[in-house]
Amino acid sequence: MAKLVWSTIAAVDHANATGNYSVLRDLGAPGFQSANNAATLGAVFQNIREQRLDLSNALLVTPTYDLGPLIEGGMLRVRGLFPLRPTGIAFDLLFQPVGGRWALFGIALRPVPNVAAATPSR
């Protein structure tokens, strides 16, 4: 599961760094591709770019999960947090099976300030 989450975050990080969202779009499921062009994805992640949030730091830590993985309507959903300091990265990802692999169907990322206070204790 972590590999799937990390590879998605890496794809967004590369798209943010280059300004080229076409590869992120092309990695997605057909429904994701038809709903999003490169310009749309650029607008979706504009807030993260403007905050200069370095998503590559997420590749250094294991995500914590607060939902999933679970199958909803034939799709895989996983939601959680990369507990980075001072700003964590919350994610909610939806994947669709396409050609024997899980392809991105939906994505939400948001910065979480003061992540130490937001991280659930276990």
DSSP string computed for 30-91? HHHHHH--HHHHHHHTHHHHHTT--GGGGGGSPPEEEEEEEEETTEEEEEEEE--SSEEEEE
Q: What is the pLDDT of residues 87-117, one digit of tens each?
A: 899 999 999 999 999 999 999 999 998 765 4
Alpha-carbon span 104 to 25, nearest angstrom: 9
Retrieve residue 82's tokens: 């990369």
Residue range 2-118, CATH number: 3.10.450
pLDDT at residue number 115:
61
Q: Is the pLDDT of residue 121 over 50?
A: no
Confidence of residue 39 (pLDDT cuts 50, 70, 90): very high
Domain boundary assignment for the chain? 2-118
